[in-house]
A and B are shown apart, each in its own frame.
Chain A
Amino acid sequence: MESHRILKESQIMKIHYVTGIAAIFVVAVHILMRLIVPFELSLEYDYIISNYKNIFYVLILESILVLVSVHGFNGIRIILLELRQSKAWENMITVVTISAMIALIAYGTRTIILANGL
């Protein structure tokens, strides 16, 4: 219906379902990684930094960051979209959620790179 759109809603929702389901697996690995050592130890500074040095774990962290950001902010967009029906509101929601998504991914990626490169 909207002529200016880049993605159809069905394409956005495809991304939403794929990121949501993929997130289940990476989040599960993330939680399991913390359960294989005593809980106290999992919060130790040295242990966390050593995790950041493990390239496989870093890839999992980065994919959690991207998947959950894309999925989560689109989820918030969906929830907010339904509240009001006006073009101005919809455009504002789209811009705000996409900006926040990009900002969070950028900031998280920076943290991962810094911790890995210490």
Chain B
Amino acid sequence: MNNTDSINEDKIVLKVYRENRGQKSGAHYDRFEVPYKKWTTVLDALLYVKSYNDPSIAIRYSCRMAMCGSCGMKINGIPRLACYTKISELETSTIECEPLSNFPIIRDLVTDFSLFFNHHKDIQPYIQSNEGVETDTEKKTFSFYQSPEDVDRYLQFSYCIKCGLCNSACPTAGTDLRFPGPQALAQLYRYYADTRDESKKRLDIVDDRHGIWRCHFAGSCSKVCPKGVDPALGIQLLRSYMLGISKDNKELAKKIEINTDKDNNSN
């Protein structure tokens, strides 16, 4: 008889935070015993519990591969992606899952990202060109030329999946609701550094009382970011431009007009 499966079956206790919006008094932790293998992620464990123990646990997830940014939660006290955190690497016999700090709780492990996305929208996260952009069909359409060096200026910052882990780890985001937070500030740098972007007003968006200067360089955003974005670096780079230490010597990308009507009609 082959018993290796049951012998190798290790178990952990999954401690899950439960709360319904507006009912703080009913907040509590539920504990579940979950079998796991070397490759089991915390998201797998939560889905196991939903399948076999308690289907009412609220979680948000989609891609299961650290791409969509939906499954952020505090795991053993640290903001992480549940789908990107293996139980075996945590090396604890109890694993605690809680909703992200600095976000309002909707239910259990699901938090409200409205304010977070608003901060992101406020920094105008899109290429602004005076004459039209690649996808601009109303105006002329252009092709932009960027060298690998031009791309390197912002590539790392463009890996952001908007998971909110950085904002959850940020002490200023915890006290100041109007502070844009590391995610939005790093994206501001991403567009500011892009040679296709011609906006002259980007830096002004965050140059106010609750803006970029309320970062006190705790650096925790960069520590928890699962995509290696290093938002703290983006913030410091932006500041060095705003203080005049770095000079804005960005050479705009060359634009070549694409005549889209050519093939269809001859005007």
Q: Which residues of A contact B (CB under 8 A)?
A: 1-2, 5, 8-10, 12-14, 17, 78, 81-83, 85, 90
**Further contacts, 6 of them, CB under 8 A, given A14-B243, A81-B176:** A2-B209, A10-B243, A12-B213, A13-B213, A81-B214, A85-B210
Between A2, A9, A10, A17, the greatest number of chain B beta carbons within 10 A of the residue's beta carbon is seen for: A10
Q: Using A10-B213, A13-B213, A14-B243 as known contacts, say yes or no to A85 and B177 having CB atoms under 8 A apart.
A: yes
Q: Is the CB of B175 within 8 A of A83?
A: yes
15 contacting pairs across A/B (C-beta < 8 A) = A5-B208, A9-B207, A9-B211, A10-B207, A10-B242, A10-B243, A12-B213, A13-B213, A14-B243, A81-B210, A82-B176, A82-B210, A85-B176, A85-B177, A85-B210
B→A interface (CB under 8 Å): 172, 175-179, 204-205, 207-211, 213-214, 242-243
B172 neighbours in A (Cβ, 8 Å): 82
Q: Are B243 and A9 touching (Cβ within 8 A)? A: no
* A82, B170: Cα distance in complex, Å: 13
Residues of chain A lying within 8 A (CB to CB) of residue B208: 1-2, 5, 9
Main secondary structure of the interface of A (DSSP, over half): helix
Say what secondary structure dominates the interface of chain B: loop
Q: Within the complex, what minimum Cβ distance (angstroms) separates A24 from chain B?
A: 18
Contacts of B179 in A (CB 8 A): 82
State A12–B209 Cα separation when bound (angstroms): 10
Q: Is A81 within 8 A of B242, CB to CB?
A: no
**B176 to A9, Cβ gap below 8 A?**
no
How far is the CB of B204 from the nearest CB of chain A, in Å? 8
Asked if A81 contacts B209 (CB within 8 A), the reply is yes
Q: Whose C-beta in chain A lies nearest to the C-beta of B175?
A: A82
A8 touching B176 by the CB < 8 A rule? no
A86 to B119, CA, bound (A): 17
Distance from B192 Cβ to chain A, minimum over Cβ atoms (Å): 14
In the bound complex, what is the Cα–Cα distance between A90 and B176 (angstroms)? 12
- Nearest-neighbor residue (CB-CB) of B171 within chain A: A82
B213 surroundings in chain A (CB, below 8 A): 9-10, 12-13, 78
Residue of A nearest to B243 (CB): A14
Residues of B within 8 A of A5 (CB): 208
Task: Specify the chain A residue showing the minimal Cβ separation from B216.
Answer: A78
- What B residues does A81 contact at CB under 8 A? 176, 209-210, 214
User: Are B243's CB and A85's CB within 8 A?
Assistant: no
**In the bound complex, how far is the Cα of B172 from the Cα of A85, in angstroms?**
13
CA distance A8 to B213 in the complex (A): 11
Chain B residues contacting A2 (CB-CB under 8 Å) are 208-209
Write the chain B residue with the least CB distance to A93: B209
- Nearest B residue to A85 via CB reads B178
> Distance in Å from the Cβ of B206 to the closest Cβ of chain A?
9
Which residues on A sit within 8 Å (CB–CB) of B177? 85
Residues on A with beta carbons closer than 8 Å to the beta carbon of B176: 81-82, 85
C-alpha spacing A5/B243, complex, angstroms: 18
Contacts of A12 in B (CB 8 A): 213
Most buried by B among A5, A78, A82, A85: A82
Bound: A83/B177 CA distance, A: 9
Q: Give the CA-CA distance A14 to B242 in the complex, in Å.
A: 10
Q: How far is the CB of A91 from chain B (nearest CB, A)?
A: 10
Q: Which residue of B lies closest to A2 (CB)?
A: B208
A78:B210 contact, CB within 8 angstroms:
no
Q: Which of B214, B242, B243 is the one whose CB lies under 8 Å from A82?
A: B214
